């Protein structure tokens, strides 16, 4: 039974053991151990949730397909396995699941789970192993803080000095010119005073608007008379008839024979706690030729993915036999 659970963890994010709990996997990125300097590849972290008790049929269906037994016999075998685990927890306070982890019970009756880190259930990281590398020792260069402070203060002072000289170079000519104009205002004519008006003490004369004379060239426009033989009433009726004919041609008649057939029988391919993983499986199944889709969530919030949906039970059972014969585990759900 541990082998069946281990096989399912490679392909699914959650495997529920009815009567015991659920084993959940989550993606974990690559890690570097700070003490041993070991680089670990990406993997799946394993957790145990005792609240997942409802049977989704995934484990029983996989056991029945692998051992070629009925679904009820597979459920009975799972019940015996769960009974043995509970018996070990009651008497030995510990139950070991090879390749998965160890379940243990403390004095308060709380079940804890310690995963087996030797097995990597991430299929994308197949063949990658942990790499140990010696630590890199870098020599730190001493920095004289006092010299840096002195250099920064010197550069700031130089920037301030250059800025003051630039401001002085702009303001001194303007001050001198305005002073000269204020003392020579009587000698400067009104024409030149208005042209370069730099004296702030003299009142500026109001501007006077003089309109320009614009020549307007007359253009003659010839209008050709055309005779209209039809009356306005005839034109309006003709346009109205053409509009009605075009509307009749463009608007299709409603089809009363349209019927909708609901597909209530689904062949389930897996259940996921993450909707992203469910959509990834749907995309993979569609590339294989299936009309796969996400058919909602169960009571535990797991997203169900179906190979395909059918209208009748007979057609669904026939396709389920073909899928099992090709090595793809599935089970029938009526919704």
- Burial class from Cβ neighbours inside 10 Å (0-12, 13-18, 19+) for residue 304 reads buried
The helix, strand and coil proportions of the chain, stated in percent and rounded to the nearest 5, come to 40, 20, 40
**Positive/negative CA dihedral, 233, 238, 239, 240:** positive
Domain boundaries, the chain: 2-132, 265-334
Could you say which of 3.30.70.1060, 3.30.420.40, 3.30.565.10, 3.30.70.1070 is the CATH number of the domain covering 265-334?
3.30.70.1070
Residue 76 backbone dihedrals phi, psi, to 5 degrees = -65, -40
Distance CA 203, CA 225 (A): 65
Model-level pTM? 0.37
Mean pLDDT rounded to a whole number for the chain: 74
Q: Is the pLDDT of residue 229 over 70?
A: no
Q: Is the pLDDT of residue 86 over 60?
A: yes
Query: Can you tell me which residue has the tokens 């959650």?
Result: 14
For residue range 267-293, list pLDDT tens digits in order. Answer: 888 899 988 998 999 998 899 888 889
Most confident of 168-182, 204-218, 316-330: 316-330
Mean pLDDT of 14-30: 86
For residue range 202-215, list pLDDT tens digits in order. Answer: 555 554 445 555 45
Q: What was the pLDDT predicted at 167?
A: 77
Partners of 309 in beta bridges:
266
- Residues whose CB falls within 8 Å of the CB of residue 269, separated by 6 or more in sequence, listed in order: 281, 285, 292, 305, 306, 307, 328, 330
Residue 141 backbone dihedrals phi, psi, to 5 degrees = -90, 130
Q: Is the pLDDT of residue 221 over 50?
A: no
Written as six digits, the tokens of 140 are: 């730190």
């Amino acid at each position: 039974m541990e082998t069946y659970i281990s096989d399912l963890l490679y392909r699914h994010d959650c495997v529920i053991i009815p009567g015991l709990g659920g084993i959940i996997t989550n993606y974990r990125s690559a890690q570097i151990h700070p003490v041993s300097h070991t680089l670990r590849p990406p993997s799946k972290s394993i957790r145990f949730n005792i609240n997942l008790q409802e049977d989704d049929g995934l484990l029983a269906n996989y056991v029945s397909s692998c051992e070629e037994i009925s679904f009820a016999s597979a459920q009975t075998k799972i019940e015996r396995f769960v009974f043995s685990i509970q018996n070990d927890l009651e008497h030995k306070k510990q139950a070991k699941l090879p390749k998965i982890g160890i379940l243990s019970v403390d004095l308060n009756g709380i079940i804890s789970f310690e995963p087996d880190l030797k097995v990597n259930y991430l299929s994308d990281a197949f063949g990658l192993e942990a790499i140990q590398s010696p630590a890199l020792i870098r020599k730190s260069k001493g920095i004289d803080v006092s010299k840096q402070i002195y250099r920064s203060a010197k550069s700031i002072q130089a920037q301030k000095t250059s800025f003051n000289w630039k401001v002085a170079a702009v303001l001194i000519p303007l001050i001198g010119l305005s002073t000269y104009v204020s003392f020579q205002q009587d000698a400067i004519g009104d024409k030149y005073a208005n042209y370069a008006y730099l004296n702030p003490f003299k009142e500026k004369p109001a501007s006077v608007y003089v309109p320009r004379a614009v020549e307007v060239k007359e253009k003659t426009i010839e209008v050709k008379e055309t005779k209209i033989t039809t009356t306005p009433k005839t034109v309006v009726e003709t346009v109205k008839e053409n509009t009605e004919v075009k509307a009749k041609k463009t608007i299709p008649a409603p089809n009363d024979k349209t019927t909708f057939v609901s597909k209530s029988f689904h062949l389930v391919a897996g259940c996921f706690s993450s909707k992203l993983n469910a959509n990834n499986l749907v995309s993979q199944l569609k590339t294989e030729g299936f009309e796969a889709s996400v058919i909602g969530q169960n009571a535990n919030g797991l997203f169900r993915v179906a190979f395909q949906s059918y209208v009748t039970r007979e057609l669904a059972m026939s396709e389920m036999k073909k899928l099992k014969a090709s090595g793809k585990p599935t089970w029938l759900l009526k919704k």
